[in-house]
Structure 1
């Protein structure tokens, strides 16, 4: 008997798997990576030796209006650590810089003050100018250009009318953008709903290149890079994290060069051969990414790569903040999986419904696999309406899965599905 601690909310839940059933355990090697330096030292060193640009303090000289884009409450960016260091670096070059911290929300709800204090610390909230991007407030945005896909690029005015645009984020495998970080701070981060929706259209999401770990020919990634270049992002600082959300590497400098160096670092630790099982157990790595169902496809897509057709995926996500989006909630319960997909497939890119990408991905996976959702917060009847099966613990879910697949079913465990890049050999 093997026991696993599956990340869940701010802690974990136990999972017990008999030796005869356990086929494989997939983990990112970020958890065993030793950087040999403190988190702060890693960030400071990256800023001192940027990739492809001058130091940030040099860029800040003579630049009065500075916008620093950071991530919202759904992301694990360690801003309480990184923001003070970034602000210090900017002010080392220009003590009188007028700095605005712009929280990149994409289509997510606005980040509350309570969440900001948790993310940034009281000192930042009390002393700095902070603005939350609100994608549905059209007056906050200006049209910039047309993207390669044909979508219109609308970006928060603050980013367009500044002297220096800087972003921070973190890099991990992403199930349709290839990897997170870098350009994603702009699109979807600080774009309006019109731009984000079309970037996340049915056609774009359905592309075979819109997949975990894939950047080349990825139409979503290509639009994102174009957008970030179009608004003149002059400096980025991205980090790689382990399961404890601790910084193990930092990359600063040019939008593409620094990001790609970070991508290769993360790929080297996250990539592993996929192993096919009858049952795959995974999670979104706990809070903050497991706070709603809307974020859950991230790990479910990893499990999909390791689950045989007709198999069962057990997804552990607290969903402490509910479904995660009103549009998604309406779409995911509007009928059977086939009915939902048929409806979404007929929607042209310029008429894309907010959050429909999430229903599209769930539908794609549910056509081939049953999903058991382990949650103690989301109403179980709502889970059933979403064509999934509710459970209250990983062990209960595993018993359900054995009932579907047989007592000899092979089980693959991926404790943190977001951190793993499973690749077929």
Structure 2
């Protein structure tokens, strides 16, 4: 990963600083129900203020399809933003044009201004040159603190950064450093956990990881597809039988590349998918025809723990079973708690990301114990797949 510019590289005193942030938070009844993403951008905004800059926040919210939609107005996040910052936040009814220009012109030292949803303009997602120029005209400096949107070449994530001096914010900086340490230049051995429902959505991810890691743990519904690929019957379990050839190809490449793939040796099966449904542990090749695999078994968890103990770096994306419903959360919880213990003891660098992953680690009570947890879904996955992220590439040091 290339070296990139940060806030420390930019002169901001007396300047309007356009700050791309992630405010795409859950809202119910006009109230923000989880302010985690808002709280994470506070250090960047405070540092800009300390350097004498006037932060003007750019963000999207939902998918308004390029036109104004009152239900997706960023106005509804202002109370949570003010609570996190401990100060009043101004608001402009548009992110470009007259309303934005007037609001920016009225700013005084110490002020923070939020502009309306960038996706209310079709030019945002098209990375339209005129839209980018209209945004850039509002400020003298640009800071991107939204790694979660960095895999998109949009006007507010990539276009603006080409027009005025640009750098990574503190959250983006922390994210890039953590990801670089985990995959580009890691302490070895490296282990990865990849779970979730479908192999088809993670082919590029698996293909990239088998070239980069020493141990690859496959869990969730994906593991069932790999079992089928080895001629093992999985009863009524979720499995993509049409992906069996692909799974076999991944196993062959891993063997040739000295990457050990760990599949379940034992599994937890049940006849129905509901909380507290009667379940039993069986060998991975002994799933009854009328049952479905819903979690990895204790023997598999013990082997995963041995892999973690023998590793120095861990990358985690996706749960090992149907963690939303007990008792099928046992494997994910146990493995996550073991990774957290090793991290606390300084024996493991652990980086995790993706929506289900964050939820699973919160459920296991260990989210605060991992070295770094990325709240970026698509961007984290594309980084793990080895792709260049447009919103990051544009911040590289010349």
Query: Shorter-chain TM-score: which interval?
Result: 0.3 to 0.5
Q: Comparing both structures, which one devotes a greater share of its residues to strand?
A: 1
Give the TM-score, by structure 2 length: 0.37
Q: Say which structure, 1 or 2, has more relative contact order (CA 8 Å, 6+ apart).
A: 1
Larger radius of gyration: 2
Report the TM-score when normalising by structure 1. Answer: 0.35
